[in-house]
Structure 1
Amino acid sequence: MIQKDIANACAKETLKAIIGDLNGDYFGILVDESKDISHKEQMALVLRFVNKNGEVVERFIGLVHVSDTSACSLKKAIYSLLSVHSLSPSKIHGQGYDGASNMKGEINGLKTLIMKDSPLAYYIHCFAHQLQLTLVAIAKKHLDVEDFFDHVSNVLNVVGGSFKRRDLLCDHQAKKLEQLFDFGEVQKGQGLHQECGLQRPGDTRWGSHFKTLDNFIVIFSSIVHVLEVIELEGSTSSDRNQAEYLLTKIKTFKFIFVLHLMLKVLAMSNELSKILQKKIKILLMPWSFLILQRKDCKI
C-alpha cells in the first residue's frame, strides 16, 4: 500500500508542477484513444503550451476511461479532466487528433464540438499520421500492390492464428539462428538477433507497414516452414488448402519483388515520419504558431 501512496503522491506533485508551469496561459490539446490490457477504452490527454522559459513543451496529463469513443463522450471526459486541474476550456487554442470521423467530423466531430465553445481551438490533423494514410491509400490503388498486401495479411492471419503456430514459428527461428552461429555467419552480442514477431500492419500506426515487411523478410524461411507444416498437418481441409495457396503465392518472383520494392519505399517514408515527430523540428509542427499567439511568428 505504501508503494501506491508514494506513486500517487509523485503523480500529484508532477501534475502540480505542470499546471504551475502553464501558469493559466493558453494551451493546445493532443488526444488519442487507447485500450488497456483488459480492452477497456481509454483516452490519453497531452497539453502543449509555452512554458515560463518560452519553450514549447508537451506534457502528459492523464488517462481517462471512457464508456464509448463518441465525440460527446470524449468532449465530456476532456472537460472533466481539465476541470480537475482548474483549466478552462476557453484557454484551448489548438487541437491535434487523428483523422477518424468522430474526431474531425465537420458536424458532430470532437474538434467541431470544442470549437463551438472555443472558436480559436483550431484543429490540425497530425502530419505524420496523414503521411501514413496517404501512402497506404496510394499504394493500394495499384492492383499488384493491393494483392500483395492482401497476401501478407492472410499469411499473418494463418501463421499467427494460434499459439501452437506462433510457437512453431519461434522454434524454427531459434533453430535457424543456432545453425547460423555454428557456421559463423552471424555474430553474438547483447541486443543482437532479437526475436521477430508478426504483427498486423495498421493504416493509422506510423511505420507499422515498414516494420511488418522488414520482419517478413527476416523470418521468411520460418514463415514458409510453418505454412508447409499446416499444409501437411492442418486440422481441416480448408486450413491445408489455404496454406498451400499462400505458399504458391509468396514463393513467386512477383511477390518477392514487390516485397523488397515496398520495403525500400516505406523505409524512405519511415525516415520522414520520424522527422515529422521530432520535438526539435519546430517548423514541422503545424500548430506551434497557434499556441504562441504572436503576430510576428511566421512558419
Structure 2
Amino acid sequence: MDKALFSILVDEARDVSIKEQMAVIFRYVDKNGCMIERFFGIEHVANTIAIILKETIDALLYKHSLSISSLRGQGFYRASNMSGELNGLKTLILKENSSAFYVLCFAHQLQLALVVVAKKHSIVGAFLRSFGHVVNIVGASSKWHDILREKKSLKVVQELKVGELSSGKGLNQEIEIKRSADTHWSSHYGTLINFTAMFSPIIDVLDEIAFDKVGSDQKHDAFISLRLLQSFDFIFSLHLMRIILGISHELSHVLQKDDQDIVNPMDLVKICKRKLQDMRDNGWDSFLEQVVVFCDKENIMVPNMSDQHLYLQLQELNNRFNEVNTKLFLCLACLSPNHSFSDFNKQCLMLLAQFYPDDFLHQKLVKTGKHTTYPFVYLLITLALILLVATATVERAFSTMNIIKNRM
C-alpha cells in the first residue's frame, strides 16, 4: 500500500465456535493505478458494540503502521451498531476523520428498495407470501418432490412431441424450485423463473395433495394454495415480479463485483430505472399480452388491471438511491473517461476538492510537492476509486471462513 489512502470494509458474524469475528477488507489504489480490494484479516471481538469494533480497528491499523487519518471511505451493513447516527461505528470514525465518507452498500440498497415496495403493495405482498407457502408445501416431503419431478418430465416429453420445445445439448435440463431468502432478494428471481416453467406440474401436485384420499398435514393448505395459484392476481404478480427482479437481478450481480468504481454503479442504477420506466411507458401492452396468453393456456379468467406496483417500484428506487445522489458522487462523475472525458467539468473538480480539505491544503501541497496540476487530478481520481460500492467482498470472507473453519 505504501502509505496510500484507503477505504475499509467491515463485517461481523459468529463462527462455528460461537465466537464473534470481525472481517476487514482494504480498498486502495496501487502504484500502477489499479483499484485493489484486499482481505486484511479476521479479528476476534468480545462483543459487537461500536466502541469495541472501533478499538479493534484502531489496534489493527496501529499494528501495521497505518493511520486512520489516511482513511477516505468506510462501508458496512446498516445495523445500528455499525451505521447508527449517534454512537455507531460510522459516527465514531467520522468524529476522528471527517473525510472517511460512509457509503451504504449499493447492493443492499437495491434489496431494501424491493422489500419496501413488496410491503407497500398488498397484492404483490400477498403473492410473495403465498408463493413461499406453495414452495414449502411442494417441497415438504420427498414423495411430493419426486411426483413434481416426474410430472415435469412428462410435460417436457409432451411439449417436445408437439414442437413447443426444442431438443438439443444443454436444453430441457432438470430444474427445481428452491426456497428464497428475504435478505437476498436476488434468489427470488431464479425461483420465479423455475416456478413459471413448472407451473402446470405444481398445479397437478397441489391437486393431488388437496384431494389425497389418505390425507396429509398439508391437505387443507394445498387446497387454499390451489385456488390462489389459479387466480389472475397470482399470475399477474408472478410475471410482473419476474420482470422487475430480472432487471434488478442483473444490477445486483454487477454491484457486487469488487472492481466497481463509484461512477459506474450510478450509471447502472439510472439504466435500471430507465428500463422500468420504459416498460411502464412502452412495454405494458406486450407484458399484459404475455400474462393473458399464460392465463389462457392455464384456463384462468382475466379481469381488468393497472400498473400501480411498477409505479411504486420506480418511486422507491428514486427515493432509495437519492441517498447516494449527493454532490460528492455527482462531482465524481466528471472524472469518468467515457466518451473522451465528455463529462469533464472544472467547477465540479473544484467542488470535489472541497470534500477533502486535508488533502488539498496549499501549504501541505507545496510541502509534499503536489502543487502541479496533474497530481491534483490524479489524487481526485484516486479518491473516487477508493470510495466503496458494495460490501460483498467482506461478506464473501465469512463464506470462505465457514469452509475453512467448520465443525470437523
Per the normalisation by structure 1, the TM-score is 0.72
Aligned to 1:219: 198
**112, 116, 123: which one pairs with 1:133?**
112
Tell me how far apart the structure 1 counterparts of residues 35 and 121 of structure 2 sit (CA, whole Å): 41
Tell me how far apart the structure 2 counterparts of residues 40 and 226 of structure 1 sit (CA, whole Å): 44
CA gap of 1:28–1:165, structure 2 versus 1, over 3 A, is farther
- Larger Rg, first or second structure (1 or 2): 2
Tell me how far apart the structure 2 counterparts of residues 227 and 257 of structure 1 sit (CA, whole Å): 20
Percent of residue pairs bearing the same amino acid type: 43
| Maintained 8 Å contact 2:24/2:42 | yes
**75, 88, 91: which one pairs with 2:70?**
91
Deviation of the 1:260 alpha carbon: 0.5
| Maintained 8 Å contact 1:206/1:273 | no
CA gap of 1:98–1:56, structure 2 versus 1, over 3 A, is same
Deviation of the 1:177 alpha carbon: 4.6
**SS state of the match for residue 47, structure 1?**
strand
Deviation of the 1:52 alpha carbon: 0.9
Aligned residues: 274
Aligned to 1:273: 252
Tell me how far apart the structure 2 counterparts of residues 273 and 31 of structure 1 sit (CA, whole Å): 20
Confirm whether residue 258 of structure 1 aligns to residue 258 of structure 2: no
**SS state of the match for residue 28, structure 1?**
strand
CA gap of 1:123–1:246, structure 2 versus 1, over 3 A, is same
Question: Which structure 2 residue ranges, 5 or more long, are not aligned?
Answer: 266-323, 333-351, 361-375, 385-408
Aligned AA (1:245): I
Tell me how far apart the structure 2 counterparts of residues 177 and 30 of structure 1 sit (CA, whole Å): 47
Tell me how far apart the structure 2 counterparts of residues 162 and 67 of structure 1 sit (CA, whole Å): 42
Aligned to 1:155: 134
Indicate the RMSD between aligned Cα atoms, in angstroms. 3.7
CA gap of 1:25–1:249, structure 2 versus 1, over 3 A, is same
Per the normalisation by structure 2, the TM-score is 0.55
Tell me how far apart the structure 1 counterparts of residues 131 and 110 of structure 2 sit (CA, whole Å): 21
CA gap of 1:125–1:84, structure 2 versus 1, over 3 A, is same
Aligned to 1:235: 216
Deviation of the 1:256 alpha carbon: 0.5
**225, 246, 253: which one pairs with 1:246?**
225
Aligned AA (1:48): R
Deviation of the 1:281 alpha carbon: 5.0
Residues 35-114 of structure 1: pairs in structure 2 closer than 5 A:
43-63=22-42, 69-72=48-51, 74-75=53-54, 78-79=57-58, 82=61, 85-114=64-93
Structure scoring higher RCO (CA < 8 A, sep ≥ 6) equals 2
Confirm whether residue 124 of structure 1 aligns to residue 103 of structure 2: yes
Deviation of the 1:141 alpha carbon: 1.3
- More displaced 10-residue stretch of structure 1: 218-227 or 247-256: 218-227
Deviation of the 1:35 alpha carbon: 6.6
Tell me how far apart the structure 2 counterparts of residues 218 and 93 of structure 1 sit (CA, whole Å): 48
| Maintained 8 Å contact 2:9/2:24 | yes
| Maintained 8 Å contact 1:158/1:243 | yes
Residues 4-15 of structure 1: pairs in structure 2 closer than 5 A:
none
Aligned to 2:283: none
Aligned to 1:27: 6
| Maintained 8 Å contact 1:128/1:206 | no
Aligned to 1:195: 175
| Maintained 8 Å contact 1:128/1:273 | yes
Aligned to 1:284: 264
Aligned to 2:125: 146
